[in-house]
């Protein structure tokens, strides 16, 4: 099969701190809303971090009660988002052997692991749930989605920290272009807001400590940024071979024109701009587009002092300073394994709607950032190509390029 097989996005699904579906999340992004709130529960009282981007709609409200009890929260959100995306795509009639699933995650069922370890310590082995292992395994979200949809063409799980969701979509593109699938359900899921993660990121000085002002805490590219804010949720897209979608008269949102995945081989937590530059350049080469064709960049931009600046420099080197740049983590917080997939959805909708969300809380642009960052309100205008970045601890870099269908 040709390496240039056209692949289109026909379905979108999301559950995030801004909304329980794609439409409400996108509307909230355009409105500049914040999904970051204070953690009021007693378990957070002694922590240095007491804010997070928690889900706007509980997944248990959308799932069968018995099924929900047997799923980790990460699996729950993956299933919710995948079902929305599948319905949005019109539930394609496809040979199950030609339908694949790729759902990435950073921590998988960590909440189950921690919770069941507490049960073991407090009450003994006989009180540990027999569903523990299927709930904690990282491939659980992909496995459950594949079972739910009857997908027999493979169920894959990239675990690439905060690049996982974007890498999943890149793998979905490869599966179709390699002729191994006609339709791929791809994205990311994460749900790990708990004392251990909050304490760990606080100790690493990576998390914002603006506990008194949750909505102001995530501020990408701003001089006052002091770290990211942990979030939870899932984002999933349906990818199809373009001629397959056309044959069933589907209406694509956009074309996934190219993707690239690179690694820094540099440091376990510190990014190396050269790896990010390679990812963007390779993605554009795969899309057969020059840098000047890029109108919009949905930046990874987590709101860390070093990370935002490294990405800004990478964008400048790989693409230039002409594109409009946005950073939606200012509103959602950082969804880790789901972040890249949610950024991809925002990029797709920017292409479809010709609108780019503004960065929230950007009051004083870092003078070292030379980019055209969108502030004050959404920016409108035709978008010929939108690029979405996702980077993660371990030196993982993933870039996706979307163009009009």
CA distances from 157 to 108, 247, 295, 364 (A): 10, 29, 31, 39
- Among residues 223, 350, 232, 332, which one has the least CA distance to residue 294? 350
CB-based contact 253:395 (threshold 8 Å): no
Q: Give Cα separations from 247 to 10, 88, 180, 237, 253 (angstroms).
A: 13, 17, 18, 19, 16
Residues 6+ apart with CB under 8 A from 16: 25, 35, 53, 55, 56, 231, 233, 234, 235, 332, 335, 342
Distance of alpha carbon 181 from its chain centroid, rounded?
Answer: 22
Catalogue the active-site residues: 162, 300, 334
- The tokens 């998390």 sit on which residue? 207
H or E stretch including 36?
Answer: strand 36-38
Long-range contacts of 25-32 (CB under 8 A, 24+ apart): 25/332, 25/342, 25/345, 26/345, 26/346, 26/349, 28/331, 29/328, 29/331, 29/332, 29/346, 29/357, 30/355, 30/357, 30/378, 32/331, 32/357, 32/358, 32/360, 32/377
């Amino acid at each position: 099969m040709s390496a240039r097989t056209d692949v289109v996005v026909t379905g979108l699904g999301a559950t995030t701190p801004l909304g329980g579906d794609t439409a409400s999340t996108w509307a909230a992004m355009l409105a500049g809303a914040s999904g970051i709130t204070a953690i009021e529960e007693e378990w957070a009282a002694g922590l240095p971090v007491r804010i997070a981007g928690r889900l706007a709609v509980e997944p248990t409200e959308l799932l069968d009660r018995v099924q929900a009890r047997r799923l980790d929260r990460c699996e729950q959100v993956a299933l919710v988002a995948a079902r929305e995306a599948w319905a949005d795509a019109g539930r394609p009639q496809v040979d199950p052997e030609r339908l694949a699933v790729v759902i990435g995650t950073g921590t998988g069922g960590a909440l189950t692991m921690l919770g069941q370890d507490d049960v073991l310590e407090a009450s003994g082995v006989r009180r540990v749930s027999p569903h523990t292992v299927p709930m904690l395994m990282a491939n659980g979200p992909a496995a459950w989605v594949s079972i739910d949809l009857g997908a027999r063409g493979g169920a894959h799980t990239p675990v690439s920290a905060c690049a996982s969701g974007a890498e999943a979509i890149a793998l979905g593109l490869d599966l179709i272009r390699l002729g191994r699938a006609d339709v791929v359900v791809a994205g990311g899921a994460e749900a790990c807001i708990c004392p251990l993660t909050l304490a760990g990121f606080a100790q690493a000085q990576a998390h914002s400590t603006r506990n008194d002002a949750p909505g102001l805490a995530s501020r990408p590219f701003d001089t006052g940024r002091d770290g990211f804010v942990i979030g939870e949720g899932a984002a999933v897209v349906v990818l199809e071979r373009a001629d397959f979608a056309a044959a069933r008269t589907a209406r694509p949102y956009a074309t996934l024109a190219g993707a690239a995945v690179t690694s820094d081989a540099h440091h376990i937590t510190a990014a190396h701009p050269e790896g990010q530059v390679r990812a963007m350049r390779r993605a554009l080469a795969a899309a057969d587009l020059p840098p000047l064709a890029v109108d919009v960049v949905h930046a990874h931009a987590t709101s860390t002092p070093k990370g935002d600046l490294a990405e800004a420099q990478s964008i400048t080197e790989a693409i230039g300073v002409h594109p409009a740049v946005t950073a939606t983590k200012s509103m959602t917080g950082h969804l880790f394994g789901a972040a890249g997939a949610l950024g991809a959805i925002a990029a797709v909708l920017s292409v479809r709607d010709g609108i780019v969300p503004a960065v929230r809380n950007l009051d004083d642009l870092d003078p070292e950032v030379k980019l055209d960052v969108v502030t004050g309100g959404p920016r409108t205008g035709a978008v010929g190509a939108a690029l979405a970045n996702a980077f993660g601890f371990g030196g993982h870099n993933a870039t996706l390029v979307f163009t009009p269908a």
